[in-house]
A and B are shown apart, each in its own frame.
Chain A
Amino acid sequence: MRRRNFLLLSGGGLAAAGLAACGGSGGGGGEGGGSEVEVFTWWAQGSEKAGLDALVAQFEKDYPDLTFVNGSVAGGAGSAAKDMLQSRLQAGDPPDTFQAHAGLELADYVDAGQLEDVSDLYEEYGLTEAFPSDLVELLTLDDMIYSVPSNIHRSNVVWTNTAVLEAAGIDPTAVPADVEAFIADVEKAAASGVAGLSIGTTWTQVNLLEAVLMADLGSEAYNGLWTGGTDWSGGEVTTALEHFEALIALTNTDRDGLDWTDATQMQIDGSAAYSVMGDWAVASFQQAEMTDGEDYGYFPLSGGEPIFGFLADSFTLPVGAPNPDGAKAWLDTISSQEGQVAFSLAKGSIPARTDVDTAEFPAYQQTAIESYAQDAISPSLAHGAATPVAWLNDISDATSKFTTGASDVSGYQEELATIAESHASA
C-alpha cells in the first residue's frame, strides 16, 4: 500500500510539474499585451550590456508609453540564447523582437517561416538611403529584408602590441603589404620568445581563416565562395589554407582552451605580439588602460585590396510576435540616428547609418567608419553573415580537425569543398 501511495504521489508531482510548465509558457505569451515589448538578446554583461542599456534609455525617451522587457539569456557567446530562441520559435512563443547577426544566419528562420519581411519599415524610416547600398544588398534575401541592423562590427582586424613588436625589431607603424609579409612579421615576433599570434577556441580560428581568405582571395572571389562563384578546390584557396596553416603554427599551443578574451589578454600582458580578432577587442585594450597608437595598434589584414569584413547585430520581427507595434517601435529606435550613435559608443562598434555625426567616436572607430564608407564589404563567416548555421558548424568542425592536426591542407580543402557542395545544393 505504501509503495502505491508513493507512486501516486510521484505521479501527481510529475503532473503538477507538467502543468506548471505549460502554464508558464502560455502565460508568457499572453502577458506581452499592448504596452510591453520583449527584446530577446544575449547581451547580458560588459560592453554589450552597456550598449543595450544605452538603447533602452533612448527607447524610453522615444516611446514613453511602452515598457521594455529584457529577455536576455546569458552564456556561451550567444549559443545558449540561440538554442532557447530556437525552441521558443518552434513552440510558437516568439519574443516581440530578437537579436541576430544580419545575413545568412537568418536564412534558417526565414526558411522556417518565422520572420516577417520588414522592407516596408526601410521605406517608412528612410533606411534605404541611410544605409550603404552594399549593406542593404547583403541584408536582402530573395528581394526581402528580414532584419534591421543596430550597428556594424569589423571582423578582419590585426591587433598589435607595440612594445612587443619593438622588442622583436619590427616597425610597429608599418602595415604588411600582404599575408606573406604578415606571416614573416609574425615569425620574427615569435622568434623573440613570445607567441607570434595569440588565438583561442574554434570560432576564433574560423575568424582567422576568414580574414586570411578575404585577404588572399579579394572581396569578389571571397564572396563567391558562398554564392558558388568561386571553386573551393582551386589553387588560390590552397594558398590561403597554406597561409592559415603557417599562422596556426605560430600561435599559442593552449589555443583550444581559451576564449577570445584570453587571447587578447595575452597581448595585453605582453606574451603575444599579434592577434586577429573583430573590433570588439578594442574594448579590452581600453579597459586595460592602454593608449591607442602608443601601446597597441591595429590594421586590417589585407592582400592589397581594402576589404571591410562585415558583421552586424540586428533585430527582427518574428511571425506571431505578441506586440508587433511595440517591436516596430524598437526597430525605429535602434535604426534612428540617436539610437545608433548611443549604442555604438557604448558597445565599441560603429553605426550602420552613414548620415550620422561621428565626431565624438574614438580613434579606432574613426578608422573603421572611414573604411566602411570606402572599402569593399564582405560578409563574415565566423559571425553568421556569410552562411546558414549548419554550413558554419561544418566548417568549424573541419577547421578544428585541421588545427589539432587530424587533417592536412589537402584533406582540409577537400572537406571544405565537400561541405560547400552539400550546402549549396541543399
Chain B
Amino acid sequence: MILPSILLIGIFVYGLLGVNFWTSMTDNHSAAQASGREPVAFVGLTNYLDLLLTEDFRHSLANLVLFTAAFLVGAMAIGFVWAWLLERPLPGGRLFQTVYLFPMAVSFVASGVVWRWLLNSNQGENASGLNRLFQMVGLDFLQNPWWNNITFGILAIALPAIWQLSGYVMALFLAGFRGVPDELREAARMDGASEWQVYRMVIFPQLTPVLMSAIVIIAHMSLKSFDLIMSISSASAYQTKVPAVDMFLFKSGFDYANSAAVGAFLLIIIAFLIVPYLVQQHRSRTR
C-alpha cells in the first residue's frame, strides 16, 4: 500500500541526493562537461576542500552562521514572549494573534521588496526608510548602513526574517501552552505553587518538544532564505553572500560540480541539526 510513495520518494529525494553527491565529487566545471560533450572524472573530495580553502566561501559560511544565530534567537525570543503574553485570556487576544501571525502569509520576495527600501543605507540628509524614521524621531545615533556593513551586514537581513517568522513561532508555542491540561495547573496551584513556579516546573518542561520543532523549522528556513536575501540585496553583493547564493552563481556559470558541493554542504549542516532532533524524537517515542 505504501509502496508508490516509497518508490517516488526513493527516486526523487534520495536518488537525486545521491546524484548531487556524485556530481559534487566530479570535475564537472564547464558547459561542455555539463552537456556530456567532454568527459567528467571523479575527483573525490577535492571540490569540498577547494571551497573551504577559498576565503570567499568561508565568508559565506560565516554569514550563514551569523544569520542563523540572529534569526533563531530573535524569532524564538519574540515568538515565545508573544505566546506567553497571549496565553492568558486577554481582551482582543484573537486579534493580536492574527496580527502577529499575518506577516507569515507574505512571501519572502514580497516582503523583501519593502524591506529593501526600509533598509536603505543612506544616512544624514539623503536618508530614507528606517534611517529616515530614526532621524524624524530624534534617534539619529541609531542610523547605520544596515546590510552594507561588510562583517555584520547579514544581521540586518535577519530583521525581516525575524519579523516574518516570529508569529509562526508564537503559534507553535501557543499550541504548546494550550496542550498543557488545566488539571495539571490546578494540581500545582493546589500544592501551593506560585504562578511563576507553575510555569517553571509544570508548563515549560512540557514545551520542550515544541521548542525543538520550532528550532528545526527556523534553522532550516534560515539555510533556505535565498529568496529573501536575493530580493533585498543581489546575487553578487559581497556583504550578504551565503552558501545558497554561491550555489546559484556556480550553477548559472555552468559549474555544476561546485554548485552540487555547496548544496551538499548545506545538507550536511542541516543534518547536524535534524539528526539529533530525530534521535530525540525516536527515543521519546520508544521510551
Contact = CB atoms under 8 A, between A and B. Distances in A.
Interface of A: 4-5, 7-8, 10-12, 14-15, 18, 79, 82-83, 86, 89-90, 107-109, 111-114, 195, 201-203, 252-254, 256-257, 271, 388-390, 393, 396-397, 399-401, 404-406, 426
Contact of B238 (A15, A109, A388, A406): A406
B37 interface: yes
A7 B2 contact: yes
A406 to B, nearest CB: 5
A257 B233 contact: yes
Contact of B37 (A10, A15, A86, A113): A113
Given A114-B35, A393-B252, A405-B150, A11 B236 contact: no
Interface string B223-261: 000000000111111110000000001011111000000
A55 B234 CA distance: 32
Interface in B140-161: 145, 147-148, 150
A268 B286 CA distance: 69
Q: Which of A14, A111, A271 has the most CB of B within 10 A?
A: A111
A113 B35 CA distance: 8
B43 to A, nearest CB: 15
A419 to B, nearest CB: 11
A397 B249 CA distance: 10
Given A108-B31, A111-B30, A393-B253, A256 B233 contact: yes
A399 B9 CA distance: 42
Contacts of B252: 79, 82-83, 86, 389, 393
Contacts of A82: 252
B237 A202 contact: yes
Interface in B1-55: 1-2, 4-9, 12, 29-32, 34-35, 37
B249 A257 contact: no
A12 B119 contact: no
Contacts, number: 126
B2 A14 contact: no
A90 B236 CA distance: 24
A112 B31 contact: yes
> 10 nearest interchain CB pairs?
A11-B5, A390-B253, A112-B35, A108-B31, A11-B4, A396-B236, A111-B32, A112-B31, A202-B236, A400-B238
B207 to A, nearest CB: 26
B34 A404 contact: no
7 contacts: A8-B5, A10-B5, A83-B252, A112-B37, A114-B35, A257-B148, A400-B236
Contact of A257 (B7, B120, B123): B120
A405 B237 CA distance: 12
A90 B238 contact: no
A388 to B, nearest CB: 8
A8 B1 contact: yes
Contacts of A10: 5
Given A83-B252, A393-B253, A400-B237, A90 B1 contact: no
A111 B38 CA distance: 9
A374 B252 CA distance: 36
Nearest to A395: B236
B122 interface: yes
Contacts of A89: 35
A366 B29 CA distance: 44
A253 B122 contact: yes
Contacts of A14: 5, 8-9, 12
A406 B239 CA distance: 9
B253 A254 contact: no
A263 B122 CA distance: 14
B222 interface: no
B121 interface: yes
Given A114-B35, A400-B239, A426-B29, 15 more contacts: A7-B1, A10-B5, A14-B5, A14-B9, A14-B12, A111-B30, A253-B122, A253-B148, A254-B148, A256-B148, A256-B237, A256-B239, A390-B254, A400-B237, A404-B148
B56 interface: yes
B284 interface: no
Nearest to A13: B5
B220 interface: no
A388 B34 CA distance: 15
Contacts of A8: 1-2, 4-5
B116 interface: yes
Given A108-B31, A271-B126, A396-B236, A406 B37 contact: no
A15 B236 contact: no
A396 B235 CA distance: 9
Contacts of A388: 253
A83 B253 CA distance: 10
Nearest to B119: A257
